[in-house]
Structure 1
Amino acid sequence: MLLVAALTACQGRKEQEEPAMDMQQAGQRAEALLDGTMEAIHPSVKWVYGTPSETPCSTGLNRPTGTTTVFRSRNILTLVSEQRRGELLEQVRRYWEQQGARDFSVFSDKDVPRIRATTSDGFSVVLQVGDIGNVFVRAGAGCVADSAMTYPAETPGTLGGPKKEELTPREHSDFWSSGEVRRSSTS
């Protein structure tokens, strides 16, 4: 009886360790999460692709596991005033919640607030305000199977993409850049 229990436990652990998707699939899923997030923001904001991140996973002894953590991002170029940051975070939180995200973590710092959650399929999603007022959104999954990857054409640091990532917000919005506390009637 103990042998059966031990074998079952080992098989369960082995199944958990095997990635459910590869890097290409994880990249595509992250892109879909980010596209949906950008579409959920009203009024809409101007954005660009951020630099992707791939970090090889390793054992505790720095041995490769054949898996990689994959993140994609979007940088919002619309100026979001300090007074509008809460509205932006709330719109994104509601959208992620509607998509089945859970385990929300909110860092309510006045200057660099952020919200983080986990989707039902295990992706991390983060919206954060940087120290220069820049806003970025990231989505990704940890330790997916190694594979070749493709990227959207305008992705920084990739073939055909810009050499440098754009971080500084510069586009004015009557709503998002406003210092007014009340909500715009056009949103």
Structure 2
Amino acid sequence: MVAALVVFVVISGCARGAHPFGGSERVNMDMQEAAERADGILDGVLEEIDPEVKWTHDTTSVGSCDVTRRRAVMTIVSADRRGSFLGVVDRSWRKSGYRIKSINNDPEVPAIFAQTKDGFGVSLIVGGEGQVFFEVDSPCVQESDVAESTTEPTAPTYEGMEHIPRPNIRSPFWSAGAP
């Protein structure tokens, strides 16, 4: 997990206020528009996953000139189905014209890092107990206020809790053992 996060921080460059995956150009939109674009990217990939998974919003982060939206999958994706899950996401992103920047094939903490044509960094990271996280980082944009996402989650929101719990929703397909 630590290695995947280190790779992400190195690849994203957002801590330095730079464009994700390199460069420093500013995109002609504000932070709210970037957050809405990130929501659209997240909505798109989650709609491609069949059978569907249940997800909830994770944190939104705002940097000096960038926005990050996150979602946590609450459906249990078994180790036996994890490769299929990553394959569905990889194909979806390639079909959408995203450039795959890096793939971590570690069996415990696999990850996919991609970039959209308009400079948004997109990642899927499998964390502890197989929980899947999606994250979209905007390129550098104009500063503005950022509202919470208006996309309705398909799992409980866990409002008031300090942390999102581990995945706890079973799927006849995604949670199943060996095919």
- Of 82, 85, 89 in structure 1, the residue corresponding to residue 82 of structure 2 is 85
- The one-letter amino acid of 1:119's match is T
Instruction: Check whether the contact 2:81–2:176 (CA below 8 A) recurs between aligned residues.
Output: yes
Q: Hey, what does 2:4 align to over in structure 1?
A: none
Question: 1:54 aligned to 2:62?
Answer: yes
Instruction: Check whether the contact 1:51–1:72 (CA below 8 A) recurs between aligned residues.
Output: yes
CA distance in 1, matches of 2:100, 2:82: 21
State TM-score, norm by structure 1: 0.75
Gaps of 5+ in 1: 1-15, 57-67, 182-187
Gaps of 5+ in 2: 1-23
Higher relative contact order (CA 8 A, sep 6+): 2
Alignment of 1:34-45 (within 5 A): 34-45=42-53
Instruction: Check whether the contact 1:55–1:69 (CA below 8 A) recurs between aligned residues.
Output: yes
Q: Hey, what does 1:136 align to over in structure 2?
A: 133
CA distance in 2, matches of 1:31, 1:153: 9
- Of 128, 139, 146 in structure 2, the residue corresponding to residue 149 of structure 1 is 146
Question: 1:124 aligned to 2:121?
Answer: yes
Q: Hey, what does 1:176 align to over in structure 2?
A: 174
Deviation at 1:168, TM superposition (A): 1.0
CA distance in 1, matches of 2:27, 2:101: 24
Q: Percent identity?
A: 40
RMSD: 2.0
